[in-house]
Structure 1
Amino acid sequence: MPEIVRIANDRLLVEVSALGAEMQSLASSDGRSWLWNGDAAWWSGRSPILFPIVGKAPGDRLTVDGRQVEMAQHGFARRATFSLVEQGAARCSHRLAATDATRAVYPFEFALTLTHALDGDTLTIAAEVENRDDRPMPFGIGFHPAFRWPLPGADGKPHVVALDNDAEPRLARLANGLLGPERLPSPFSGGRLTVSPELFAQDAMIFPEGAGTGLTYGVDGGEKLRFRFDNLPNLALWTKPGAPFLCIEPWHGTAAEIGASNDLAARPFTTTLAPGETSRFAFAVEIPA
């Protein structure tokens, strides 16, 4: 079994697996559990990291630095074993560096470091990507955490996603896992969206632009999770219709567009790091006290 690291403070307890550096549980000190439990009958993920692509490539084939390679949906990091490089009472960091296996599909020297850190009622998950190569390195990155739906103590109550910027970002849909070119009317009204299973009958709802840097998810007049996003311009919401979880996914990068190039560097919102550069991407979630 992969090694599990526990971090805690007087408010929160988090467990992180070495496999994918994936959070396995997020609980408050009163015993309430906020993260999806990974029941494989619905979806075995809990909070995977998406790297070096977000979403699918056409036919799971990708051109990277002029080479054709196979790349599964959301990349390889979520299935890789990370090394524990830092552990404290309320903070831990795991790192994935280039190996022969990663070079076969992603021919760059890189380091991806994931840090889970607690501060009061807030958990921050940060990803730092370092280009250790001698040439520019393109990649996409995203977070895919799944939270309980309904939230603890909120059975039977409507759950709302409310954007901090009160925007109505246009909606994009997937076809066979690829991003459609059409931008559909926003399901948000005044920045608010009441989630329902029917919204996900056509897979994820993707908002490539305009969702802003923060939102809340929860019940009016009741429990809410508050999110802040750093360097993550894209947002997706996803579940399987009828499943008891909702994924709130901030990304920097999306699936390939239908009919577009399969070159990694040409994918929407790709980041390209110069040699020696490091970029940071993070989200924070505040848990109700």
Structure 2
Amino acid sequence: MPVSMRIGNPDLTVDVSSLGAEMQALTSGDGRSWLWSGDAAFWSGRSPILFPIVGKAPDDKVAIDGTVYPMAQHGFARRSEFVLAASSTTMCRYELAASEATRAVYPFDFLLVVEHAVEGRALTVSAEVTNRDQKTMPFGLGFHSAFVWPLPGASGRAHTITLDNQGEPELVRLAGGLINPTPLPSPFQAGRLVLDHTMFEQDAMIFPQGAGEGLRYSAEGGPTLQFRFENLPNLALWTKPGAPFLCVEPWHGTAAQAGASSELSERPSTTLLAPGATVRFAFTVEIGQ
């Protein structure tokens, strides 16, 4: 059975489940809840870790050096039981190591370490991947956190995503769950996007490059969430039309491209990790007002 762990300080409390090392709640000291509740009527996820793929594979299969393996959307980490490796009042670290079950679908010896750490009004979620194998290991990794929309106390107000770099990154869409590589005009204007549920009638908005290393999710005249990204060049925004959440998804890797190779190593933004190497990915979210 999954076990939930609570960490925090007087300003911020975080609940994390051993299943998927997934955050279950993000609550500020004044009692406001910032994370989606996981209501299965819309979407049962809350903040899954995506590994070893982000998004879908053609026919839910990936090829690794020519051999085909089954691989569900967003990979297997989110459905895997992690082991608690270390914890304190403000930090918990979970580990997922390669097993007979993972090798059946992903033939590598790996270690995935997911850490949640609270400092002041900020939470940092990091993932470190180590290649314990003797061969180069391809993978994607992403974060898929769903935050409440509207933000606490901001019902009826306009909600905005504002990129720190004031960029206008190109948009791509999904076709059958796979990336349609044809770029579309950016919905951002000088880094600013006023959110509307109709934007998500064609599924996620994906920005393969140019979204930068930080953004602000805010309500007009109200609360804000400030994000910083580390080694996460791809960004997606997603909800189900009418659902009361917004997923802010920084990734290193995307769904496969429609009509392209099913080789995992050839997916967009795939990491090719050398034997014995470790790579880190992280995001920080800080609660304003």
**Normalised by the shorter chain, which TM-score bucket?**
over 0.9
| SS at 1:173 equivalent | strand
Match of 1:139 in 2: 139
- Once the two structures are TM-superposed, the CA of residue 221 in structure 1 deviates from its matched residue by 2.5
Q: Which amino acid is 1:53 matched to? A: I
Q: Deviations over 1:63-116 (max 9, x none)?
A: 023310010000000000000001100000000000000000000000000000
SS at match of 2:138: strand
After the TM superposition, which residues 28-39 of structure 1 pair with which residues of structure 2 at under 5 Å, given as runs?
28-39=28-39
Deviates more, 1:217-226 or 1:95-104: 217-226
Give the structure 1 partner of residue 9 of structure 2.
Answer: 9
| TM alignment of 1:72-151, pairs within 5 A | 72-151=72-151
**Secondary structure at the residue paired with 2:2?**
coil
Q: Does residue 199 in structure 1 map to residue 213 in structure 2?
A: no
Q: Map residues 1-289 of structure 1 onto 2, 5 A cutoff.
A: 1-289=1-289
- 1:110-148 CA distance string (max 9 Å, x none): 000000000101000000000000110000000000000
Counterpart of 2:139, as a letter, is: F
Determine the C-alpha separation between the residues in 1 that align with 2:72 and 2:106. 12
Q: Distance in 2 between matches of 1:95 and 1:165?
A: 34
- Structure with more of its chain in strand, by fraction: 2
Q: Secondary structure at the match of 1:59?
A: helix
Distance 2:259 2:184 in 1: 18
More displaced, 103-112 or 220-229? 220-229
CA–CA separation in structure 2 for the residues paired with 1:190 and 1:288: 22
Letter of the structure 1 residue corresponding to residue 50 of structure 2: L
The AA in structure 1 aligned to 2:112 is L
User: How many Å separate the matches in 1 of 2:69 and 2:89?
Assistant: 41
Deviation at 1:41, TM superposition (A): 0.2
1:172 is paired with a residue of what secondary structure?
A: strand
Q: Deviations over 1:128-169 (max 9, x none)?
A: 000000110000000000000000010000000000000110
The percent of aligned pairs where both chains have the same amino acid is 64
The amino acid that maps onto 1:193 is: L
Q: CA offset at residue 61 of structure 1?
A: 1.1
SS at match of 2:112: strand
Q: 2-side partners of 1:58 and 1:216: how far apart?
A: 33
C-alpha separation in 1, matches of 2:121 and 2:67: 45
State the 1:222 CA deviation: 1.7
Amino acid of the residue matched to residue 50 of structure 1? L
Query: TM-score, length-normalised on structure 2?
Result: 0.99
Listed one character per residue, the Cα deviations across residues 147-204 of structure 1 (whole Å, up to 9, x for unaligned) are: 0000001000000000000011010000000000200000111110011110000000
One-letter code aligned to 2:9: N
Task: Provide the rounded CA distance (Å) in 2 between the counterparts of 1:220 and 1:286.
Answer: 17
2-side partners of 1:70 and 1:112: how far apart? Answer: 20
After TM superposition, the runs of 4+ consecutive aligned structure 1 residues lying more than 3 A away are: none
Structure 1 residue 219, shift from structure 2 partner = 1.4
SS class of match (1:86): strand
The residue type paired with residue 244 of structure 1 is: P
Between Structure 1 and Structure 2, how many residues are aligned? 289
d(CA) in 1 for partners of 2:183 and 2:79?
Answer: 32
Distance in 1 (CA, whole Å) between partners of 2:287 and 2:97 is 32
Letter in 1 for 2:272: T
TM-score by length of 1: 0.99
* One-letter identity of the residue aligned with 2:203: D
Gaps of 5+ in 2: none
How far apart, CA to CA, are the structure 2 residues paired with 1:209 and 1:9?
35
Secondary structure at the residue paired with 1:10?
coil
Give the match's secondary structure for 1:182. strand
What is the alpha-carbon root mean square deviation over aligned residues? Answer: 0.7
CA deviations over 1:256-286 (Å, ceiling 9, x no partner): 0011100000000000111100000000000
